[in-house]
Structures are given as C-alpha cells and as structure tokens.
C-alpha cells in the first residue's frame, strides 16, 4: 500500500531516516530499520575523524530544535566497520551513505568508499549550516554544486542525491545545477540558520552561536522548497523538515516529494514514529479511498 520506488531502489514505504539521527553506529542504524524506516541515511562522514563543536550543541526552542553539532564523525576508514555490521545483519537493508567534504575530489573519493561499503545510494551533504568550510559554505554556489555533483557522478555507479540548503536566495538555482550535473535526486531541505540567546547571561546558547533549526517550525519552508524544485526540475526529491505525523508526509508528497526523511520527529515521538506514521498514512488512504500515487504532486495540478 505504501511501497515506492526511488531511482530504481524499491522501498516498502516512503519513510527514510534522515542523516544525523541515530546513524553513526551499526546497532542504532539497525534499530531504525527494525522500527520501520524503509532506508537509513548515515551520519555525514568525512575523510578524517572530527570531534565537532564543544557543548552545548543542542537547544530546544519553540516548535523545534537548534543544533550546532559541527559534523562530528569517526572518519571514512573507521566507518567501514559500522557499515559491514549492518550489511551482515540486515543484508537487504537500504543504506544511503551521507558524505561531506570541501572539494569535488574529496566528495568523489568518499562517495566511492561508501559504494564499496555496500551503500545503495550516496547523499552529498552540501547544506550543513554550522561547520566552517563545509556544507552550506560550499553548497550555496550553483557552480560548486555542479562541479561536485559532476565529479561524484563520474566515480560511482549508485544513485547520487544532493542535499540542498534553504539558506540561499534561490534553492531552485541549486537544484537546476544538480540536474545539469546528472544527479539522480535531490534531498530538500537541511536545517534553517537560527540562534538562541540566554536572557539571563545574554550569551548565545550554542557554543558555535548560530546553528540549524529543525522540527515543525521549518515544515512550511521544506514544503515550499520541494514544491518549487518539482515545478522546475525533473528529478525525484526526498522531502525533509518538520515531519511528525502521517499528514506531514502526505503534505510533502502532495508537493511532489517521492520519499521523505524523518529526523527530529524521533525526538518528539521516539523510534516508534516510523510505525505510527505508517499506520496514520494507511488510515488516511483507506478513508479517502485513494493510494500513494494519487497524491504525489497533486498540488501542482490544483
């Protein structure tokens, strides 16, 4: 009832776990799969181990979470063992390997390593808003997006998704650069730049001062970005941002998303969110007497 196909990858539902949520270690990735995620996107992995920013790196705000993690990760060499465990225990699982770097050449090397580890697809993180020299600092320029995507596509045979930042004048310009570079799909969006100040000390709460806002507050931005991309670009889109329940997924799919990534929703509803959202979607379709293909992109036809 909820099955979809994404760039030739068959998924039993459109529900993918977004990068950065319980996805650095094999056992936590397996827990996500067991909870009902149809695919798991790994933590963004770089060439070398990175400790990330000093605490505090997370703050709760109205309708969302601010984070300034700074891309902590074990490095691509050590991550091989985690991928090996997942593939051994869940041989048919769909793992999307997320990578970050500061150059097209390094992105290509990392993507190729993820492919060799058994990743079903690779996601290029060109959108982290709080890691100097990486993420959105690289991915805000359409030419850089084109160059990086083109280089990765030369080196791998698995689908390449590009995760875009909303913190730009036009996310559609970035999406068009992806299409011109023959990307297989787009992930939209990453977090929105935000800040919180403690009114007792008057200091920024996050150690890096400015972080990324996620959660329900950014869903309207995510919906708008997916809608605009689908209007202008002929690539499948994974919609991410503020998904907490089944109707949130349906809204993203009505905007044209082919699948969705659930991230901070795990904070609000626990790992059970994947099963809960599946049931909520199934109930919606039964009540409306329609199927998942009936709603995909329907907002563009109204």
Domain count, the chain: 1
Q: Is 178 a catalytic residue?
A: no
C-beta separation of 126 from 139 below 8 A: yes
Q: What per-residue confidence (pLDDT) applies to 57?
A: 95
- The whole domain housing 70 covers 4-301
Predicted TM-score (pTM) of this structure: 0.96
**pLDDT attached to residue 131:** 79
pLDDT at residue 130 in the model: 75
**At 15, which CATH number?**
3.20.20.70
Q: Which residues of the chain have pLDDT under 50?
A: none
Instruction: Supply 243's token pair.
Output: 């998904």
pLDDT given at position 134: 82
- The per-residue pLDDT for 23 is 85
Q: Among the options 128, 178, 208, 225, which is catalytic?
A: 128
């Amino acid at each position: 009832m909820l099955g979809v196909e994404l760039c030739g990858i068959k998924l039993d539902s459109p529900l993918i776990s977004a990068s950065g949520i319980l996805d650095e270690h094999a056992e936590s990735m397996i827990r996500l799969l067991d909870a009902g995620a149809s695919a798991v996107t790994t933590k963004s992995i770089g060439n070398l181990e990175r400790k990330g920013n000093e605490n505090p790196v997370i703050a709760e705000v109205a309708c969302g979470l601010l984070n300034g993690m700074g891309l902590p990760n074990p490095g691509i060499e050590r991550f091989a063992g985690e991928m090996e465990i997942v593939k051994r225990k869940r041989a048919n699982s769909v793992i999307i390997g997320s990578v970050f770097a500061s150059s097209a050449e390094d992105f290509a090397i990392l993507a190729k390593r993820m492919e060799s580890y058994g990743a079903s697809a690779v996601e290029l993180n060109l959108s982290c808003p709080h890691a100097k020299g990486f993420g959105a600092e690289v991915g805000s320029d359409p030419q850089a997006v084109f160059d990086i995507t083109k280089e990765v596509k030369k080196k791998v045979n698995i689908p390449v998704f590009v995760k875009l930042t909303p913190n730009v004048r036009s996310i559609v310009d970035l999406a068009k650069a992806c299409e011109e570079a023959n990307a297989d799909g787009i992930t939209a969006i990453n977090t929105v730049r935000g800040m919180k100040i403690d009114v007792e000390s008057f200091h920024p709460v996050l150690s890096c001062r400015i972080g990324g806002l996620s959660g329900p507050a950014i869903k309207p931005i995510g919906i708008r970005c997916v809608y605009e991309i689908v209007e202008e670009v002929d690539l499948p889109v994974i919609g991410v941002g503020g998904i907490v329940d089944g109707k949130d997924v349906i809204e993203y799919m009505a905007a044209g998303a082919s699948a969705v990534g659930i991230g901070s929703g795990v904070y609000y509803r626990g790992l059970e969110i994947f099963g809960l959202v599946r049931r909520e979607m199934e109930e919606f379709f039964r009540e409306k007497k329609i199927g998942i293909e009936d709603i995909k992109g329907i907002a563009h036809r109204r």
